[in-house]
Structure 1
Amino acid sequence: MKTYSIEEINHVLKGTIVGSTLQMIQAPEQLERACDNEISFIGSKKYERLWLTSKACVAVVNEDISIPPGENRAFIMVKNADLAMSQVLDLFSPSSPQFHTEIHPLAVVDPSAVVGAGTRIGAGSYIGPKVVLGKDVTIYPNVTILDECTIGDRTILWSGTTIRERCHIGNDCIIHPNASIGADGFGFRPCAERGLVKIPQIGNVIIGNHVEIGANSCVDRGKFSATIIGDGCKIDNLVQIGHNSVLGRFCIMAGNSGLAGSVTLGNQVMIGGSASIKDHVTIGDGAIIGAGSGVTGNVEAGKTMLGYPAVEARNALKQWAKLKQLVSN
């Protein structure tokens, strides 16, 4: 079990200790559930009221905290408690699943594949012809990587992930269990003789560096050229990204949201949970799409959109207020 003194934790956070405690800290926990040997966090003033009844011996807090820590308890004051929380969680993080051999004997690696130094491949995984794996890649059991794919250095692929042919993933990415990268895009056209005719999807998927894709999410290959996920994008679980969509850098998509085909997101776009974006729509840099919204047209940079169909946030709030008045009357 990992244990730290408050001074050892603050050495990492580089904050200011207010109060004192000799208690050794064994784990992080939320305020309501914490025990007297655990550290917690107060990232917003609205949670300060929970400190009085919490048993935590230490809390990481913002510099504008307005309450004292109390007897035999302490605060570590930092500029941003939410960011500091990530450092504390990293300190207490348990070890990743272990590999007893770099390439498990039950893995299938095509002779033409290139495997970089330090790369580990779990049992039941399949590495196809002309695949190139970078250095220190981690491939957990039962991952499939088909022909001519490339996987960048230090990328992690969790069990059940499928990377279809000719797709490319950058450095330092994390692909969570059962994600699908490069499945066919959803392309069909009606035909009087044959019903629905499938449109061939001959493109691929290109994923940048430091991208994270959640469990059971799907990134479809392009009909032609590529579906592109820019550097630093973070994709939640159960997200659908349609063929030939292009995401800029540092976009966020929350769970159950989806992009239809040929959607373009600028840099740092945020898509809320269960939001849906119509095909061929462009959303500008820094725009925010609220949870459950349905976007049917282009969105200017920096705008916040709400509702179904989505309109600018202030207009949506006015509409909802008027509807509430109508109902109350």
Structure 2
Amino acid sequence: MKSFSIQEINDILQGVLIGTTNQKITAPEQLEMANDTEISFIGNKKYEKFWATSKACAAVVNDDISIEPGENRVFIKVKNADLAMSQVLALFAPPTPLFAIDIHPTATIDTTASIGNGTRIGAGCYIGPKVQLGENVTIYPNVTILDECTIGKNTVIWPGAVIRERCHVGSDCILHPNSTIGADGFGFRPDPQRGLVKIPQIGNVILGNGVEIGANSCVDRGKFSSTVLGDGCKIDNLVQIGHNSKLGKFCIMAGHSGVAGSVTLGNGVIIGGSASIKDHTTIGDGATVGAGSGVTGDVPAGKVVLGYPAVEARDALKQWAILKRLVRDSNNK
């Protein structure tokens, strides 16, 4: 079991120690579940009230905290407790699953595929013709990578992921279990004689560097050209990204959200959980779409929108307040 003194942890965080403890820290844990050998964190002043009943002997806290740690307890004050706690979690992280050999004998690898130095391929994987895998790629069991795909260096692909033909994944990406890159876009047109006619989807998907795709999320290939996710995009589980959509750099999409075809997101856009974005919509740099919202028109850069249909956040809150009063007044009659 790993354990560290509070000083060893602070040597990494470079914070300010308030209080003392002689306990060795054995793990990080949330405030209400921590025991007296564990470290927690307080990332917002509203959670200060839970410190008194927590058994944690230490906490990483924002530098505006207004309480004292108490006897044999200690705070590490930092500018951003959430970011600092990510360093603590990395310190205690267990090792990733082991590879007994770099390339498992049950993996099927086409003779025309190119495998970079240090790349590991697990049991039951399929690597198709003319695939190019960069250096130090990790591919866990039962991954499928079809013809002419490229995977950048240091990328990690977890079990069950599928990358279809001619798609390109950048360096330092993470594809979580059962994610699908390059499935057909959803394109059909009615025909009086043939019913719904499938529109061929002949494009591909391009993921930039440092992109993370959550479990069971889908990024559809373009009908023409490419569906593109810029560097640093982070996609949660169960997210749908439609064909020919373009995401700028460092966009975030939370679970159960989706963008239809040909949507454009600027840099740093945040899409809340279960939000939906209509096709051919543009959302400007730094805009935020609240959870559960339905966007039916363009959103200017920097705006926050809420509701269904989504409107500027202040207007949505006013509408909800009016509706609440109407219901209250109606019940009081």
Q: For the residues of structure 1 that align with 2:237 and 2:211, how far apart are their CA atoms? A: 13
Residue type at the aligned position of 1:121: I
Which residue of 2 is the match for residue 68 of structure 1? Answer: 68
Q: For the residues of structure 1 that align with 2:296 and 2:47, how far apart are their CA atoms? A: 38
Residue type at the aligned position of 1:100: A
Q: For the residues of structure 2 that align with 1:74 and 1:300, how far apart are their CA atoms? A: 45
Which residue of 1 is the match for residue 313 of structure 2? Answer: 313
Residue aligned with 1:181, SS: strand
Which residue of 1 is the match for residue 204 of structure 2? Answer: 204
Residue type at the aligned position of 1:48: E
Which residue of 1 is the match for residue 237 of structure 2? Answer: 237
Write out aligned runs for 1:1-329 (5 A): 1-329=1-329
Residue type at the aligned position of 2:8: E
Residue type at the aligned position of 2:249: R
Residue aligned with 2:318, SS: helix
Q: For the residues of structure 1 that align with 2:92 and 2:123, how far apart are their CA atoms? A: 28
Length, aligned pairs only: 329
Q: For the residues of structure 2 that align with 1:312 and 1:67, how far apart are their CA atoms? A: 37
Q: For the residues of structure 1 that align with 2:33 and 2:195, how far apart are their CA atoms? A: 58
Q: What is the identity percentage for the equivalent residue pairs of Structure 1 and Structure 2?
A: 75
Deviations along 1:277-319, one digit per CA (max 9) or x if unpaired, are: 0000000000000000000000000010000000111110111
Residue aligned with 1:100, SS: coil
Q: For the residues of structure 1 that align with 2:146 and 2:219, how far apart are their CA atoms? A: 15
Residue aligned with 1:193, SS: coil
Residue type at the aligned position of 2:242: G
Q: For the residues of structure 2 that align with 1:130 and 1:215, how far apart are their CA atoms? A: 26
Deviations along 1:237-284, one digit per CA (max 9) or x if unpaired, are: 000000000000000000000000000000000000000000000000
Residue type at the aligned position of 1:147: D
Q: For the residues of structure 1 that align with 2:104 and 2:178, how far apart are their CA atoms? A: 20
Q: For the residues of structure 1 that align with 2:32 and 2:319, how far apart are their CA atoms? A: 38
What is the TM-score when the length of structure 2 is the normalising length? Answer: 0.98
Q: For the residues of structure 1 that align with 2:301 and 2:39, how far apart are their CA atoms? A: 40
What is the TM-score when the length of structure 1 is the normalising length? Answer: 1.00
Measured after TM superposition, the shift of residue 65 of structure 1 is 1.0
Residue type at the aligned position of 1:235: I
> Please, which moves more after superposition, 55-64 or 141-150?
55-64
Residue type at the aligned position of 1:11: D
After the TM superposition, which segments of 4 or more aligned residues of structure 1 sit over 6 Å from their partners? none
Q: For the residues of structure 2 that align with 1:305 and 1:274, how far apart are their CA atoms? A: 14
Q: For the residues of structure 1 that align with 2:173 and 2:44, how far apart are their CA atoms? A: 31
Q: Which runs of 5+ in 1 are unaligned?
A: none
Residue aligned with 2:33, SS: coil
